[in-house]
Amino acid sequence: MKKYGILTLISIIFFCKAPREKAELTILGTGITGNFYYFEGEINQDVTPYCGEASPETSSSEDTSSSSSSSEDVKRYNISSYYRFQFGEYIQLRYLYDQTRRNFSLTPSTTTTYTCNTIDFINCNSSGTATCETSDNIKCGGVYTFIFVGVINPIVFQAVNGKIDWTNGYSLSSDKKYTQKASLDFEMIDTAGNVLKGKVYCNSN
């Protein structure tokens, strides 16, 4: 009986083991070398302690001085995420998380307008020899953003259209300042018509 008890305990630990924090994505299109690009990697938790920073979305019609408003009343949050992977690759996201919906649609009107020079595809920098699309000439991306940068097989994918879906799981921290857990699916299109499909799973410590 003792032997079977140990085996049962091992089985429970194995099957209940939390999924790895990782991303997997594929890019297809004539603008991609070989018309195909694949990436799979684990999140570097040392530089990605949180799955994202959250701030309540406010509108001009909202009375921010009202004492009746509380975090329980807020359903929409602006999320800013930076997922860094083991070999330096990263995904940069800015999107609107709506607790009453299952996904967010990225559109050209909220992504980019201009281009700027950059070194890291995060910030605009006149010293950079590469370029990224920007809406404010300060940061790469727009009000909402999806950027993937590959390192070992160098590539930059900046979306202008697409969807971020959190049907498989999403939660904010108790103080509503961070994304605690995110299981996201992507389907994105860049200006050249290349298509990125993928997913990322993150669970903050």
pLDDT tens column, 159-175: 999 999 999 999 999 99
pLDDT category of residue 19 using cuts at 50, 70 and 90: low
Angle at alpha carbon of residue 167, lines to 178 and 41, rounded to 5°:
70
| pLDDT on residue 71 | 56
Q: What is the mean pLDDT of residues 86-101?
A: 94
> How many angstroms separate the CA atoms of 39 and 150, rounded?
8
Model's pTM, two decimal places? 0.81
Whether the pLDDT of residue 84 is over 70: the answer is yes
Number of H helices, E strands in the chain: 2, 13
**Of the candidates 61, 73, 79, which has an alpha carbon nearest to the alpha carbon of residue 170?**
79
Contact 158, 184 (CB under 8 A): no
How confident is the prediction for the chain on average, in pLDDT?
Answer: 85
Listed in sequence order, the DSSP H helices in 68-188 are 108-111
Tell me the mean pLDDT in the region 27-34.
90
Checking if the pLDDT of 69 tops 90, the result is no
pLDDT attached to residue 61: 40
> Partners of 198 in the beta sheet?
25, 186
Greatest alpha-carbon pair distance for the chain in Å reads: 71
